[in-house]
């Protein structure tokens, strides 16, 4: 076998195919076709007995019913007397029934269509053995050529000497041998399946070229994808027909989108990875093997396909691939061996977590898991420095658990009328996801904030969720809450154990400092709004309220000695400013209130004393720096 010769053949055919498609014609003539069988009428009972006894002469003497009418010497019927024929026929049926029982189960797993065909004819290939394509290698070459021809019809510009399409097909052809094991006989029934999967990937690859005029792919990239993504799909093909039926169905549904996802990442990263290898095939292999081995595994809770659904799995797979491409070291041991169970455990762990929280079933849960994978993967090496005591996949699993638990708790606490509490009722799934992402992103960028033993992330999300639940009058929009959450997370990250760690209540350890301050501000804003709405001339809502909360949270990073002991000091300060704004609206609008609040809230939190009129006036009339 000379691969160069094969590849030359493919190239030449593709070029020739621009003027025609002889190979396609050859395929049309040479593929297997159905040849029908003879349909002859069944004989009478006597005729059936003759066939039976000629084929099974050893039985002729075994039953008196047979010997009564069968001449064993001449192998013919001595008589066709109806009573003799009927008796012998009954014995024959008993023998046949016994044989049928022995053979039972043989075709149980045959597809119906195939069974119908076998009953009335058979599929027959064109060529004798010596003239057949003898190996999976040649068959794959023909598949690649076939698909190339298909694309030539659709987009002739993709092909030509040295063109992008031709280069891609050649790169695939170069990597075909990677799919075939050294022991070719062991490949057996996988040959056709491998051929099909390779075809799916080539289609996805050529499709990505068609859709992106600038993309240029290197041979190494294609080889990496074939070794890392295509091969694990083939290797995971189970042996039993029953298992294969399910697996093939899933591969039919997943392989195409997975291939598209892989090529999309390749296209996306071509420029970023310019000059260096795009992907480590081992890392890609870990992700792909995990997915395609895990989809076969069913637990008592169902399989991961049931939890994530096919669309969700592709999304998570894409997130995993992205991590494998950008941080291959996360999937490899120190000796460059592969951490084969890593992604598998991550998948099954995520499925278990999401199954335990019904609120996160379906697309939102999937999106959450994919987002966490993205964020943790992106920051993993900086965060944990690959500390074996804090493996990143466990951190990702714990982060998912902490986020889903804290959000679920908040979302499951309902008002008396059965609706969600406060601002939570206004949140869409997308906004919930963004809220989690912004906090997680901050936590992931802060060394030591995420870990197997730490629960700071849960405290922050739980605290913010509780604060949002207190916004009964919807004074802030979900997007404004997301901004506040971002600030809170940033400050909490910079001040370990402070904002959401310090409790202001001896009775309630969950009443964190930041939560208490946010609730105080909301209380003042709500009181005014509840009493008179906009007529009350309150400015504490929307953007102004958002800025006040931001300023409060930022101030919590400073001296908060008094606030810890008497958190209501913030209420009083804000009440005072609010009264001033109502009393002299011409002088004390939202900008003035913000200016004074920002300027003095630090002192209030530190000393626990409200500012004097002079201090307020000084801030109010101070010239901008």
Partner 1 sequence: MKKRLVTFVFGVGVLILFGCATVKDVQRATDLIRTDNELTRLLVEVRPKDQEGSATYLIGIATHAQTEAESLEGLRGKEADAIAYYRIAATAYWKSGAPEVVDDLFEATLSGMNLCAELKEAGPDRDCMFLQLVIPFAGLESLANGVNLKDTLGKIDFYDNKDTAIEIETMRNAFGDLEKARELIKKIYQFETDDRLKKHPGMREYYCSNVEKARNYHIGHTGELIGKVNDYDQRPALQDASPLGITIEQARALNTIGQISEMFMGEPAGELKIDDDRYPKICRP
Contact between 532 and partner 1 (CB under 8 A)?
no
In the complex, minimum distance from the CB of residue 84 to partner 1, in angstroms, rounded to a whole number: 10
Of 68, 91, 95, 133, the one binding partner 1 (CB under 8 A) is 133
String marking each residue 155-184 x if it binds partner 1 according to CB under 8 A:
------------------------------
Q: Which is nearer to partner 1, 79 or 566 (CB)?
A: 79
Residue 19 vs 102, nearer CB to partner 1? 19
21 vs 596 by CB, closer to partner 1: 21
Q: Which of 263, 271, 207 is nearest to 230 (CA)?
A: 263
133 vs 602, beta carbon nearer partner 1? 133
- Name the H helices within 212-279: 219-225, 231-235, 241-269
Instruction: Report the distance separating Cα 444 and Cα 425, nearest Å.
Output: 28
Q: 538 is written with which tokens?
A: 């309150």
Instruction: Tell me: does residue 44 bind partner 1 (CB under 8 A).
Output: yes
- Whole-number Cα distances in Å, 556 to 518, 549, 584: 11, 11, 29
Q: Are 118 and 110 in contact (CB under 8 A)?
A: yes
- Residues 290 and 230 sit within 8 Å (Cβ to Cβ): no
* Footprint (CB under 8 A) of partner 1, residues 68-127: 69, 71, 74-82, 113, 116-117, 120-127
* 129 lines the binding site for partner 1 (CB under 8 A): yes
- Cα angle 236, 241, 245; round to 5: 70
Look at residue 420 and give its three-state secondary structure.
Answer: strand
- Complex with partner 1: residue 45 or 498, whichever CB lies closer: 45
613 binds partner 1 (CB under 8 A): no
Applying CB under 8 A, the site for partner 1 has a residue count of 77
User: Looking at beta carbons only, is 136 or 513 nearer to partner 1?
Assistant: 136
Least distance between partner 1 and beta carbon 242 (Å): 24
Residue 35 backbone phi and psi in degrees, to 5: -110, 125
CB of 42 to partner 1, least distance (A): 7
Contact assessment for residue 390 and residue 452, using Cβ atoms and an 8 Å cutoff:
yes
55 binds partner 1 (CB under 8 A): yes
Minimum gap (Å) between residue 131 Cβ and partner 1: 6
**27 contacts partner 1 (rule: CB under 8 A):** yes
Distance from C-alpha of 222 to C-alpha of 230, rounded to nearest angstrom: 10
Choice between 48 and 355, CB closer to partner 1: 48
Question: Shortest gap between Cβ of 78 and partner 1 (angstroms)?
Answer: 6
Q: How far is the CB of 29 from partner 1 (least distance, A)?
A: 5
Residue 299 phi, psi (nearest 5):
-105, -175
Q: Shortest distance, CB of residue 57 to partner 1, whole angstroms?
A: 9
User: Running DSSP on this structure, what letter comes out for residue 360?
Assistant: G
CA distances to 27, 178, 285, 321, 498 from 182, in Å = 28, 9, 19, 28, 61
192 lines the binding site for partner 1 (CB under 8 A): no
Which two structure tokens, joined as six digits, stand for 260?
């598209």
* x-or-dash string of contact with partner 1, 379-418, rule CB under 8 A: ----------------------------------------
Is the separation of the CB atoms in 124 and 35 below 8 Å?
A: yes
Residue 153 within binding range of partner 1, rule CB under 8 A = yes
Would you call 503 helix, strand, or coil by DSSP? Answer: strand
The secondary structure of residue 423, as a DSSP letter, is G
Among 103, 130, 335, 624, binds partner 1 (CB under 8 A): 130
Do β-strands 33-36 and 121-124 pair in parallel, antiparallel, or remain unpaired? antiparallel
Going by C-alpha positions, the residue among 179, 180, 159 that lies closest to residue 170 is 159
161 or 535: CB nearest partner 1 = 161
- Stretch binding partner 1 (CB under 8 A), from 12-20, 328-336, 375-383, 561-569: 12-20
Q: Using CB under 8 A, which of the segments 13-21, 158-166, 216-224, 277-285 binds partner 1? A: 13-21
Contact set for partner 1, span 417-456 (CB under 8 A): none
Of residues 295, 252, 248, 253, the one with CA closest to residue 111: 248
Is the alpha carbon torsion for 321, 323, 327, 330 positive or negative?
negative
Least Å distance between CB 210 and partner 1? 19
Residue placing its CB nearer to partner 1 in the complex, 122 or 532: 122
Contact status, residue 126 vs residue 31, Cβ threshold 8 Å: yes
DSSP 303: -
To which H or E segment does residue 429 belong?
helix 429-444
User: What residues are paired with 77 via a beta bridge?
Assistant: 70
565 binds partner 1 (CB under 8 A): no
CB of 136: closest distance to partner 1 in angstroms? 12
Contacting residue, 58, 103, 128, 453, with partner 1 by CB under 8 A: 128
Q: How far is the CB of 95 from partner 1 (least distance, A)?
A: 16
């Amino acid at each position: 076998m000379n691969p160069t010769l094969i590849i030359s053949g493919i190239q030449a055919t593709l070029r020739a195919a621009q003027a025609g498609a002889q190979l396609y014609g050859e395929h049309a003539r040479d593929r297997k076709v159905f040849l029908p069988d003879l349909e002859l009428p069944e004989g009478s009972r006597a005729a059936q007995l003759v066939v039976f006894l000629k084929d099974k002469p050893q039985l002729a003497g075994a039953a008196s019913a047979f010997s009564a009418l069968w001449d064993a010497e001449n192998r013919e019927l001595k008589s066709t007397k109806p009573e003799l024929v009927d008796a012998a026929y009954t014995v024959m049926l008993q023998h046949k029934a016994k044989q049928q029982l022995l053979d039972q189960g043989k075709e149980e797993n045959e597809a119906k269509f195939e069974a119908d065909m076998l009953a009335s004819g058979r599929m027959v290939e064109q060529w004798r053995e010596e003239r057949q394509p003898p190996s999976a290698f040649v068959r794959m070459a023909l598949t690649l050529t076939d698909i190339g021809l298909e694309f030539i019809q659709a987009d002739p510009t993709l092909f030509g000497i040295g063109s992008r399409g031709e280069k891609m097909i050649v790169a695939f052809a170069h990597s075909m041998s990677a799919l075939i094991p050294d022991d070719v006989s062991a490949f057996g029934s996988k040959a056709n399946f491998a051929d099909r999967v390779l075809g799916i990937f080539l289609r996805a690859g050529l499709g990505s070229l068609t859709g992106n005029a600038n993309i240029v792919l290197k041979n190494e990239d294609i080889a990496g994808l074939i070794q890392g993504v295509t091969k694990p799909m083939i290797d995971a093909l189970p042996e039993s027909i029953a298992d294969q039926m399910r697996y093939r169905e899933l591969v039919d549904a997943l392989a195409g989108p997975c291939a598209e996802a892989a090529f999309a990442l390749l296209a996306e990263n071509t420029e970023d990875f310019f000059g260096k290898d795009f992907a480590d095939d081992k890392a890609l292999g870990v992700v792909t093997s995990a997915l395609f081995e895990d989809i076969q595994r069913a637990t008592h809770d169902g399989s991961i396909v049931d939890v994530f659904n096919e669309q969700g799995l592709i999304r998570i797979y894409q997130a995993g691939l992205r991590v494998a491409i950008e941080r291959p070291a996360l999937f490899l041991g120190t000796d460059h061996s592969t951490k084969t169970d890593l992604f598998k455990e991550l998948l099954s762990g995520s499925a278990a977590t999401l199954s335990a929280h019904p609120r996160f079933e379906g697309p939102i849960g999937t999106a959450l898991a994919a987002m966490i994978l993205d964020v943790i993967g992106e920051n993993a090496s900086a965060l944990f420095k690959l500390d074996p005591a804090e493996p990143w996949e466990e951190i990702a699993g714990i982060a998912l658990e902490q986020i889903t638990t804290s959000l679920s708790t908040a979302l499951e606490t309902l008002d008396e009328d059965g609706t969600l509490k406060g601002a939570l009722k206004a949140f869409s799934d997308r906004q919930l996801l963004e809220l989690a992402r912004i906090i997680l992103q901050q936590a992931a960028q802060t060394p030591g904030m995420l870990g197997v033993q730490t629960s700071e992330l849960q405290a922050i999300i739980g605290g913010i969720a509780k604060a949002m639940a207190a916004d009964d009058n919807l004074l802030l929009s979900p997007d404004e809450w997301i901004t506040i959450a971002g600030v809170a997370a940033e400050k909490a990250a910079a001040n370990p154990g402070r904002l959401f760690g310090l409790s202001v209540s001896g009775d309630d350890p969950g009443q964190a400092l930041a939560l208490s301050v946010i609730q105080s501000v909301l209380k003042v804003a709500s009181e005014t709004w509840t009493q008179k709405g906009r007529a009350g001339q309150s400015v504490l809502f929307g953007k102004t309220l958002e800025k006040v909360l931001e300023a409060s949270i930022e101030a919590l990073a400073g001296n908060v000695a008094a606030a810890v002991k008497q958190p209501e000091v913030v209420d009083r300060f804000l009440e005072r400013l609010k009264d001033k704004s109502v009393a002299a609206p011409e002088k004390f609008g939202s900008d003035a209130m913000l200016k004074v609040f920002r300027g003095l809230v630090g002192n209030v939190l530190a000393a626990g004393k409200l500012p004097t009129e002079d201090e307020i006036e000084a801030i109010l009339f101070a010239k901008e720096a």
